[in-house]
Structure 1
Amino acid sequence: MRILEAVKFVAHDVKEKTLIIIPTYNERENIELLLTQITQIVPGADVVVVDDQSPDGTGQVVKDFCQKNPDANVQLIEREGKRGLGYAYRAGMRYGLDRGYEVLITMDADMSHSPLHLPAMLSTLKGNDVVIGSRYIWDGGTINWRIRRILLSWLANRFARFLLGLKGGDLTSGFRAYRRGILETIGLEKVRSNGYSYLVEMLFRVQRNNARVAEIPIIFYDRTMGRSKISRKEIYKGAFTLLRLRFTKTKKKTHQT
């Protein structure tokens, strides 16, 4: 049993209209527990699950959760086919912007990102445009990660800093909180990447617009159920994205809040 299942959660008061975006593909073993914890820890936040017609029935698990928990404001977006992580993020963010959300949070569906970090993330967002849940700053870390994954993550962060001049301890973390204003400034339609490279391009455009970015330490748990989605193809696409962005002429400007 995951340690977090036994924790008695204390609800955190959400001050701003907040949406948590969770992309899913074959996460039926994890999604119900994740939604349960989120709705207990930040009951004032809304959740949208963006599912790519998972063959394992993830979408149906979300529907069942909504029926059993009518007070939890959880919505499901079902898309045709497996369209990729980047498109899922974009769909969730567009959903949130169109409905007037002021804060948009992205997190993984496989319980790697603990909802226990959400209160600290929301508190840190005060005075900042973006908050990143970092594995690589003081008090952060990973649990049960294989050497191959650690090496890939280290190399990706190293190359992103070297090629793009990005700042931060964890440039590839998908556990992030964005203010509405910075998403409108960078323009979601300008972010071309799909897959995990979407995360690097988002941060590239955020920093090019002089946004205020902060990091909080998180403990990243390797998934205990289901399979990792990172493939060799994703690695090649990520490397190509770094090279493409290296030669992208994006005009710097000061983000106004």
Structure 2
Amino acid sequence: MPPMTFQKQQIQIFEANFLQIISLITEVNIAQVKDAYFIFRDLDESKRHGIWESISKAVGAPRDRIYKFFRFTWSKQFYRSLDEVRPKLKQDILEQLKYTKQREGAHQRVWKIIWNKWKDEGLHYEATDQFCRNTVNFWFKEAPKITSKFEETFNKFGIVKSQEAEFVSMRNNSIVEPQSESIESDSFEDDMVIGIRRKRVQKRVRQVYNEEIREFDLGDLDEWPNDFCGFE
């Protein structure tokens, strides 16, 4: 389905009518749409009745489309941008996914924890929820690929361990002259070689991890599906 958009003139009509309706409901002369939005947010459900139908007629668009535009797109301007916290937010979500094995219900479990932590940071609820949902879904799609990369790395680690074992075996079975200085020198050099190999493997494991997490680029996952309203 192609994305639904509003023209600038329609957005202006939407805002003018929204401002007027909230002013009438509250009997307060409201000058700014931002103020009208936060007043609306605190209104009882009974006082919201008929708002979207009225605006729908004025704008000339279906009620459902008007409501989605309001809730998922237009209202985002009054909140902190996800771009400011995206890396940290993604990190928190991925941290919770470490303890989540089943995909079914994963988003609900993770989201409850995430929003409890971030609810006082001035973020848009629906946009943050969508980012969390998309991150979880993307993770379960990409996790097997990341796991495969780790398996390849650890297989290489296994080869190095085998080489190390063979190296130690050769050293133990070799004929060494009974001179303490020579024995200590050989042992020290052997341990150095083994230590260097181990450090190289550890470095590679960390490198693979960092590469995979860095490539786990979720993009603008607070963006909405095509059937949601947006600016043209």
The structure in which a higher percent of residues are strand is 1
**TM-score, length of structure 2 as denominator length:** 0.23
**TM-score, length of structure 1 as denominator length:** 0.21
Larger RCO, structures 1/2 (Cα 8 Å, 6+ apart)? 2
Between structure 1 and structure 2, the one with the greater Rg is 2
The structure in which a higher percent of residues are helix is 2
